Amino acid sequence: MEGSGCYESYFEGRWVPTPSKVPTTPPTDWLQWKKNPGVRSFDGCLFVPLRLENLPSPRHRTPILSPTLPCCPLLDQASLDHKLMKLETGLRAEDCETGLLLLGLKDNPELKIIQAALSRQGVEHQCLPSEELKLRFPNIRLARGEVGLLDKSGGVLYADKALRALQDAIRQLGGLVHDGEKVMEIKPGLPVMVKSTSRSYQAKSLIITAGPWTNRLLHPLGIELPLQTLRINVCYWQEKVPGSYSVSQAFPCLLGLGLSLTPYHIYGLPSGEYPGLMKVCYHHGNNADPEERDCLAAFSDIQDVQILSRFVHDHLTDLEPEPAIMEHCMYTRTQV
């Protein structure tokens, strides 16, 4: 998945005494929250969820690639939650469920693993040899030995709508969402103490989802996770024929595996975010400090853009081979 981690967010519960007659069953997922809105009580204490956001809303216009990856059982619940979110936010299925077309050499080990996982989980998919893929998607060109694997359940997640749905669920629980309130200090204990730029909070538990800022928060606690923060060039490419790579033309998301001898994936999303522009990006970037990602030194390496230009020229022949727009985001990767 692309994106995520371009901001800091924190979630905690504030605890105050409450009568014992209040139900004590905790909500375990989105559906339970939606069936039983309102504040919750655990162990005789009132649970008021609070989410602190470093940056103001709205943000995260950028959609993100959503492959099925059926080898992960957790995605069964995630898929159900996302379907509910689509109903509540008015997203049309055809705007999200575009399908995901994986491209790679016929004997690519990763492609074989994904195909086996799709078969094992009973996910609808289709293997497309070069000739058949050309008939179905004439604006994709494959090199000798390359094939396509179409996962019909893949598609696009709209991060801004998903974040808004999460915030709405918190508010419906009787919780609070504080935008533009950066966490400055965390003091472990019972309760946990959290100091922000505005005030201090107490909580029985604290969840940190700070993306590239995670280790900056954990360092004072003597904790460092094996995380790598990368600055990614997000490129948009002009269609030679407007709409030819759009959702309205049933064009899928793309994921290139090992194409053009690249060590990392190349992915693409149908045009629509910017009319007439398809998003094609490289799943890697340059090491960057999230607080200095826009400094001049961060713009020096554009090797990934050159890789993308070759990919577009060779495989997406109805796009101009130079990016029309280039934006940036941060990745947070676990180093192994």
Identify the pLDDT of residue 62. Answer: 52
Identify the pLDDT of residue 226. Answer: 94
Residue 286, CA distances (Å) to 270, 281, 297, 328 in order: 25, 14, 11, 11
Residue 224 CA to residue 227 CA, distance in Å, equals: 8
Identify the pLDDT of residue 89. Answer: 63
Identify the pLDDT of residue 266. Answer: 95
The pair of three-digit structure tokens given for residue 55, joined into one six-digit string: 């940056």
Q: What is the pTM of this model?
A: 0.76
Residue 38 CA, distance from chain mean position: 28
Residue with tokens 């990368």: 230
Q: Where are the beta strands (DSSP E) in 24-182?
A: 40-42, 45-53, 63-66, 100-105, 125-128, 146-151, 155-158, 176-178
Identify the pLDDT of residue 323. Answer: 96
Identify the pLDDT of residue 238. Answer: 98
Query: According to DSSP H, which parts of 121-200 are helical?
Result: 130-136, 159-172
Identify the pLDDT of residue 48. Answer: 52
Identify the pLDDT of residue 16. Answer: 29
As averages over each run of 10 residues, the pLDDT of the chain (336 residues) reads 32 31 39 46 44 55 50 61 66 71 94 92 91 94 94 82 81 85 92 92 89 91 93 95 90 90 90 92 88 64 88 95 92 84
Element (H, E) at 272: strand 266-274
CB 67 within 8 A of CB 154: yes
Identify the pLDDT of residue 56. Answer: 53
Identify the pLDDT of residue 242. Answer: 92
Q: What backbone phi and psi angles, to 5 degrees, belong to 298? A: -75, -15
